[in-house]
Structure 1
Amino acid sequence: MAAQQKIAVVIPCFKVKAHILSVISNIGPEVDRIYVVDDCCPQNSGAYVKENCNDERVVVLYNPINLGVGGAVMNGYSSAIQDDISIIVKVDGDGQMDPNLIKKFVAPIINGEADYTKGNRFFDLEEIHAMPKMRLFGNAILSFMTKLSSGYWDLFDPTNGFTAIHRDVAKHLPFSKISNRYFFETDMLFRLNTLRAVVIDIPMDAKYGDEESNLKISKIVGEFLLKHTRNLSKRIFYNYYLRNMSLASLELPLGLFMLLTGTFFGISHWITSIASGVPTAAGTVMLSALPIILGMQLVLAFIGHDISSVPKRPFHLKTQFQR
């Protein structure tokens, strides 16, 4: 089965001239094609690769304007789909990702266990100390937000860009709607969940050299929060009201209504009690506490159902059976 699967690597290039040739040279023979995407790089990475790389597998693509990592990867995906590539791996051009791990990333897809695989730098606790503390903290926060918005509660390290995807899944993605820049990897997970694709983490070690990171946590917190909220709302609507209805579809709105009603009722009577100097009656306190408790239980029940609903049957296998 493995021999029938063509594998390609997509490498988005922007200010990675110092590392790109080394990355390409470390890609093993299991890969049939390498798409180097020059994302309007000021260092002219595409031309540099053409002049200095003799690997016949390399195809250089160009974005006429800088589209960000997402726009570069989508360009590579489109070319790979047109060339009938079975599995598309995305590797950064800055040397942080070990190309020797490509076999580990494609194996679950080849074996029919997953549609999409992504790296997880947090699997080996002994290696976490190598990650900068600010990046470690930021990834922990972003991971929790991503679990909520994407519905993949069993995943971690959402901003990890070392990924692999099956062609039959990639071609169903709305390329024009996926976020192009720093939110790209996270938005991909949301889009994959709308397809009910199976996603799994692949353990890997973090590598940090002299590469320059353009990601500033302080600048993207507000943007990420807004986009996570948008994706969470869309996912809940798609999965619990548009495509399907279940007990969880009732638990969430009822739970939120009771939680908010009890909270506002309690706060209003607390303010009145302070203003008048008269203690609030025990019955009034119970009328506030009871809907809060019941509402919290219903919301937790919804979350429990959501966690148990992580996709388990690979999407690309379903599409193959439908042909």
Structure 2
Amino acid sequence: MYIESVLADETPATSSPRYRDRRIAVVVPAYNEELLIGETLYTIPDFVEKIYVVDDCSDDRTLSIIQEYAKKDPRIIPIHHEENMGVGSSIVSGYKAAIADDLDIAAVMAGDNQMDPAFLPKLLDPIIDGKSDYTMGNRLISPVYRKGMSTWRFFGNAVLTFLTKMASGYWQMMDPQNGFTAISARALERISLDDVYPKYGYCNDLLVKLNVWGFRVINVPHPARYGREKSGIKYSSYIFKVSWLLLKDFLWRLKMKYVVLSFHPLVFYYALGFVITCLGIFGGIYSLYYKFVLGNAMFVPLVMSIIVFGLGAQFWLFAMLFDMQQEKNTNGWY
């Protein structure tokens, strides 16, 4: 990876751009975005001080277009990956550059011009006002806002939203696949950026890490915007990959947040819920075997299996309730 210096020959400005007296960076990940990267960079607001455009080893003219725009706009800092590393890795490269330049807030706007810059202030305001450390767009809040989103894409987002709620502990959060986000410098400095998932799914993984350290997250409603971009996500396989990632993240969060950094008995509720629920499922399978293979009446074993399964489900629900209460307590270190 290398970062081009486009400011070396520029005369230092007397004052850099600010938004409400904060220094703002925008990270623009780009991979084969020659069609729309120019439009994306052209529309970024003037109050943004630094624009880190990360080319993830594109096969087309993306990098050369970024370099041309950097000559016209001194705010643009091209970052080039020598090999394709994934969108998560691209965003982390931009985050690290923002930390090195001592920026206050880093937002993310994809290179496909899908994110309306008019809504950027709505992401920044809660962080500046001290209400949040991480803001994320929400296109799922109403049918009007998700207009243009395919049924299959909405279904995939809905499934991953629920799984991410459970894995991350942010139960009020929606639309975790939305890449239109902003994060405070203190949050970036605290979490381990090198451990963030490098591919699609980085946004889900990042939420888990933010929750462990007690950072506050707020959703910002905004309408979806679809045009000439082509999504590189295949939801048929993507949902399964991210689900496996979220399972690992869920177990890691329980260990770190409720065992290592502090303690809460909800970990026992989750564990007992899992074991007892599995016993109930196996009991139900045995009841079918008992009836259709052995030829015996299945009433008693089936009823017992249902009772056991219900008991396990109650443990799960109590664990989730305790987890939700922890979110409302906002008892993190920050």
> Does the alignment reach a TM-score above 0.5?
yes
Superposed, 1:244-323 pairs within 5 Å as 244-265=262-283, 267-268=285-286, 271-279=289-297, 287-310=304-327, 313=330, 318=333
1:163 is displaced (CA, Å) by 0.6
Distance in 2 separating the partners of 1:150 and 1:57: 34
Superposed, 1:195-274 pairs within 5 Å as 195-265=213-283, 267-268=285-286, 271-274=289-292
Q: Which sits farther off after the overlay, 60-69 or 40-49? A: 40-49
Letter in 2 for 1:111: D
In structure 2, the partner of 1:6 is 23
Superposed, 1:133-212 pairs within 5 Å as 133-212=151-230
Letter in 1 for 2:314: Q
In structure 1, the partner of 2:6 is none
In structure 2, the partner of 1:40 is 57
Larger relative CO (CA 8 A, sep 6+): 1 or 2? 1
Provide, for residues 156-182 of structure 1, a one-character-per-residue CA deviation record: whole Å limited to 9, x for no partner: 111111010001111222222211111
Using a 3 Å threshold, how does the CA distance of structure 1 residues 85 and 204 change in structure 2: closer, same or farther? same
Q: What is the aligned length? A: 316
Distance in 2 separating the partners of 1:263 and 1:51: 61
SS of structure 2 residue aligned to 1:179: coil
In structure 2, the partner of 1:69 is 87
Using a 3 Å threshold, how does the CA distance of structure 1 residues 314 and 116 change in structure 2: closer, same or farther? farther
Distance in 2 separating the partners of 1:241 and 1:268: 36
The TM-score with structure 2 as length reference comes to 0.86
Letter in 2 for 1:6: R
The TM-score with structure 1 as length reference comes to 0.89
Using a 3 Å threshold, how does the CA distance of structure 1 residues 286 and 160 change in structure 2: closer, same or farther? closer
The structure where helix makes up a greater share of residues is 1
SS of structure 2 residue aligned to 1:59: strand
Distance in 2 separating the partners of 1:314 and 1:100: 33
Letter in 1 for 2:58: C
Using a 3 Å threshold, how does the CA distance of structure 1 residues 267 and 59 change in structure 2: closer, same or farther? closer
Distance in 1 separating the partners of 2:49 and 2:328: 30
| 8 A contact 1:81–1:171 mirrored in 2 | yes
Percent of aligned positions with the same letter in both sequences?
31
1:245 is displaced (CA, Å) by 2.7
Using a 3 Å threshold, how does the CA distance of structure 1 residues 123 and 280 change in structure 2: closer, same or farther? closer
Picking from 113, 121, 124, the partner of 1:103 is 121
What is the root-mean-square deviation of aligned Cα atoms in Å? 2.4
1:233 is displaced (CA, Å) by 1.6
Letter in 1 for 2:132: A
Structure 2: gaps (5+ residues): 1-17
SS of structure 1 residue aligned to 2:87: helix
